[in-house]
Chain A
Amino acid sequence: MSTYLTKRMLYMLIILFAASLLIFCLYALTPGDFITGNIKLTAERKAELREIYGLNKPVLERYGTWMNNAFHGDFGYSLAQQKPVLQLFGDYIWNSFLLAAVSTFLTWLIAVIIGVISAYKQYSWFDTLVMIAIFAAMSLPSFFIGLFLIKILAVDLKWLPPGGMMTTGSNATGFAYFKEVVHHMTLPVIVMTLLGLGSLTRYFRSNMIDVLKQDYIRTARAKGLKERKVLFTHALRNALLPAITLVGFELPALFGGSIIIEQIFNWPGIGQLYMKSFGLRDYPLLMGFTMFLAILTVIGTLLSDILYRVADPRVRL
């Protein structure tokens, strides 16, 4: 186990190093830089600014500087936002995390429940209707369902706020603030859950169907175990195993923010900030955020491998 871990760590470092180089070059080679878009500057002033920002240096040298600073804990200063990159992360990532964590939890919970029931009652009217509904939800574009719900629930019925994270100008603190945030996040969470539900439910349903056909389930039933126990202890546990792989992939998604949802619901998350920085070629922010996601992805895969080992004794590392 420990040799395995050491080896994995080494691979991870190499992967991250290669990824950082690749990402840096990709961003640096995208046509246009941070200065290009500012049409009010004269050519001389543009040259002066490129000198100040170091944008006129060769890509590899810039990469070296970035890497060196990153090792010293300095992830740079956002050119467009005029703030340190790490401070921006602090300002925006937790908002994204809040949305993602709640909706991921709900998605998994509902998907497991629906998946189990519809697998157990395969081809029943419940199963058929749920599958139709799920396909429908999966095929809706997020911006559409988002705007549609805003129109119905916020603009027409005025049950929920149309966007943002809190009431504008509100000075609420403590529980009142908590209530306000919950009120504001309901709509985006509904949409995100609805969109994520489809694939996950189908995943659990087919896993469950496979497991239910296994010999040990027949054995369990033959032993005279209660159906509930067969379903939730014996079958579900085995059906959930492959889903552990998915847990690893959820990690970057938890922090990465959702560009479209955040845009529609005016949510102060990192996704829309990232999108804007790309249009502006705000290299430090782009680089910092992409590397952050790369690190989470690598850690996520490691985590799911280890979890797999913990959950399934048949797996050896």
Chain B
Amino acid sequence: MRKSTLLLSSLLIAGSLLLSACSENGNTDAASTDTPANTAATADPGAAAGGTEAPAAPAVVPAGALSEPFTATDLTKLPAVAQKRTDTIIVGLTDPSGAFTPYFQESGYDGNVSSLLYASLVTVDDKGVPTPELAESWEVSADQLTYTFHLRKDLKFSDGSPLTADDVAFTWTIQYDKAYDGGSSLPSLKVKGGEAYKAGTAESIDGIKVIDPQTISVTLEQPNATALVTLGSNVLSKAYYGKDYKFGQLEYIKKLHEKPLGDGPYKLEKFIPGQEVRLVANENYFKGKPKTEHFIYKTTTGDAWQFLETGEVDYASFPATEENIGKLKELGYVNILPYTPSTYGYMQVNLKHEQLKDKRVRQAIAYGLDRQSIYVDAAEGAGAVANIPASPISWSYTEEGINPYKYDPDQANKLLDEAGWSVGAGGIREKDGKPLSIHYLASKSKNSDIFIAVAKENFAALGIDFQPEIFADFNSLVSKTESGDYDLVSYSTSMLTDPADGFMQFFDGEITDYENPKFVELYNKALATTDIEQRKAVYKELYQLFNDELPIIFTNYKKTVYAYNGRIQNLSVSPFIGLAGSLPNWTLK
């Protein structure tokens, strides 16, 4: 009797709570925890569900959204579990798989872990500008081809063994091995002699020269401004990872994935699959031992809320919706940090299709889609409208001479008229007897549902026949795109470090039909120099060109908030390197 009454009454309560529970569930997938560092396969297309801070963003920030950090109001509300921790900080991470060797991992979450286990030669600051780390300085030759790195003195791996230029040379070399199957972009830098090594015709890579234990230089075949950061990444110990190395055989490294030897702020204490990655402070870290002894990445596949509310994790990220921000403020014991990820969302345009070859049609779509409603209002403020291929947090970002393409159906209709598409039977525009039809692809998400609902009306108002198609997962979407059967497809970029990354899809074979000599010229010009001010000027020109030409149609930026235990001091999150930069300084109050 009692059991059934209980069930019945809980059912009644359940009914009333259903709505709120559902919306909470809807947020679940977006509310992952730490941002994947170099995410391989997690780009979420259709995009947009996070972030707030709008540094002079074009979009109107709705009232209630967070524009500056919020400090915890009442630390006494902190759950006892979190109150008790004195030398341990716990951060949720969706799914580390245990492959902790840099360059050999497939999951961006493993990248989050290895970014704490390994330090880099060169890192980037909050704007993405390269700054020294293990290398105290570097020189680039006048022809922009030779990079010389000067390592700091007395660098050590976590086991106390010395870190020298030989280790750096080894790290670069194995990425040119023919058996190397990782996703590093170093092989595409074209280091001199790299191809010969890969083919097995050279014993070593010609372009890599160890000058003395503290100095190493590398020569490229062609200039590339992203080379500095790519070359200046993590260093693998030759004594540890290279002792069994023979050309063409890298199988043995797989056995070392769960036993990493690094030089970063933390070292691995224990990995429990599906549950935790336990790290402990590295006393040999070159900046000195981190202030908090233990750091744990906890696998959190479900909702982040339940763990933050019970104090099981100290840090979590959420889409910057008004609802989320309100709820977090109410908790009282979390500090909230607004954050814009270094990505942008766009629609890839099928430039093989006659109708989209005309720039005016592409511009008409940009004017005719109510992007403000789709990406900002419907996302409860957790987004902003994008108009250039760079995130607002990049040093290259500009709004000068950029057309914001504010929603303007009249302008869109005018452009379509000019392009020769006249309204025909049934209100659909036609040209030479062919109707103007848009086949749109996206993968399943809350945002693509919103997009389709709004776009249907928007396109109808322009006299465009809109045919959306939704895919269950990302791989099938990409596969359909590759088949060429589409007009528009929604994507989001992976994390962009260098502004050049924002144009990557035009160079890695995804978009092959945009032919514009001026674009290629400017793109190369921007890469041919490492001077930031010069590059800024070139990118401004490039962004203006893209903003006008729209070879891809820009959609949105995400906006996120990080919420963390108010006891943690000195926390900051870099859009490019995540927590890794500030983590060694975190302390518990």
A-side residues, CB < 8 A to B, are: 30-33, 36-46, 49, 52-53, 77, 79-83, 88, 91-92, 95, 126, 129-130, 132-133, 136-137, 140, 143-145, 147-148, 150-151, 154-155, 158, 161-166, 168-169, 262-266, 268-269, 272-273, 276, 278-281
Chain B residues within an 8 Å CB radius of A262: 301
In the assembled complex, the CB of B474 is this many whole angstroms from the nearest CB of chain A, namely 5
B7 and A38 contacting across the interface, CB-CB below 8 Å:
no
A137 touches B7 (CB 8 A): yes
* Interface residue? B565 (CB, 8 A): no
> B358: CB under 8 A from chain A?
no
Q: Are A136 and B8 in contact (CB under 8 A)?
A: yes
Task: Assess whether A266 is in contact with B302, with CB atoms less than 8 Å apart.
Answer: yes
Q: Is the CB of A281 within 8 A of B185?
A: no
Stretch among B16-24, B49-57, B399-407, B455-463 lining the A interface: B16-24
Once the chains bind, are A155 and B106 in contact (CB under 8 Å)?
Answer: no
User: Which of A33, A81, A168, A264 has the largest number of chain B CB atoms within 10 A?
Assistant: A168
Report 9 cross-chain contacts, Cβ distance below 8 Å, ordered by A residue.
A39-B493, A82-B104, A82-B254, A136-B11, A161-B312, A164-B275, A164-B312, A276-B95, A281-B475
Which 6 pairs, one residue from A and one from B, show the smallest C-beta to C-beta distance? A268-B274, A43-B509, A32-B475, A82-B99, A37-B41, A32-B479
Q: Is the CB of B478 within 8 A of A32?
A: yes
Whether, in the assembled complex, B187 has its beta carbon less than 8 Å from a beta carbon of chain A, the answer is: yes
B292-300, B377-385, B514-522, B570-578: which one contacts chain A? B292-300
Chain B residues numbered 161-192 whose CB sits less than 8 Å from any CB in chain A: 179, 181, 183, 185, 187-188
Q: A158-B310, A164-B312, A166-B275 are in contact. Are A83 and B508 (CB under 8 A)?
A: no
Q: B63 within 8 Å of A by Cβ? A: no
Determine if B473 is an interface residue (Cβ-Cβ < 8 Å). yes
B276 within 8 A of A: yes
Contact between A40 and B183, CB atoms less than 8 A apart = yes
Interface residues contributed by chain B, number (CB under 8 Å): 75
Q: Which residues of A contact B393 (CB under 8 A)?
A: none
Q: Cβ of B274 and Cβ of A41 under 8 Å apart? A: no
Residues of chain B within 8 A (CB-CB) of A161 are 310, 312
Q: How far is it, in angstroms, between the C-alpha of A42 and the C-alpha of B512 when the chains are bound?
A: 12
A83 to chain B, nearest CB (A): 6
Quote the shortest CB–CB distance from A79 to chain B (angstroms): 7
Instruction: Select A37's contact among B40, B85, B179, beta carbons within 8 Å.
Output: B40
A194 to B444: give the CA distance in the assembly, Å. 30
- B97 contacts the other chain (CB 8 A): yes
CB distance from A59 to the nearest CB of B (A): 15
Q: Is B241 located at the chain interface by the 8 A CB criterion? A: no
Contact with A along B479-516 (1 / 0, CB 8 A): 11010000000010110000000001101111000000
Q: Is B257 an interface residue (CB 8 A)?
A: yes
Alpha-carbon distance A302/B248, docked complex (angstroms): 47
CB distance from A98 to the nearest CB of B (A): 13
Q: Which residues of B contact A269 (CB under 8 A)?
A: 274
* A80 vs B183: C-alpha distance when bound (angstroms): 12
- Given A83-B98, A136-B8, A148-B14: A42 touches B302 (CB 8 Å cut-off): no
Closest to A88 in B: B273
- What separation, in Å, do the CA atoms of A279 and B478 have in the docked complex? 12
A130 and B3 CA atoms in complex are apart in Å by: 9
A205 to chain B, nearest CB (A): 15
Judge if B307 is at the interface, Cβ distance under 8 Å: yes
A contact residues around B201 at 8 Å (CB)? none
Closest-CB distance, A144 to chain B (whole angstroms):
6
With contacts A32-B476, A162-B307, A163-B302 taken as known, whether A82 is within 8 angstroms of B312 at the C-beta atoms is no
The contact of A81 among B98, B188, B298, B482, by CB within 8 Å, is: B98
Contact assessment for B97 and A82 in the assembled complex, using a CB-CB cutoff below 8 Å: yes
Give the complex CA separation of A185 and B99 in angstroms: 28
Q: Mark B83-109, 1 if CB is under 8 A from A, else 0.
A: 001001010000101110000111100
Residue of B79, B90, B301, B473 with most chain A CB atoms under a 10 A cut-off: B301
- Among candidates B40, B274, B303, B478, residue contacting A91 with C-beta atoms closer than 8 Å: B274
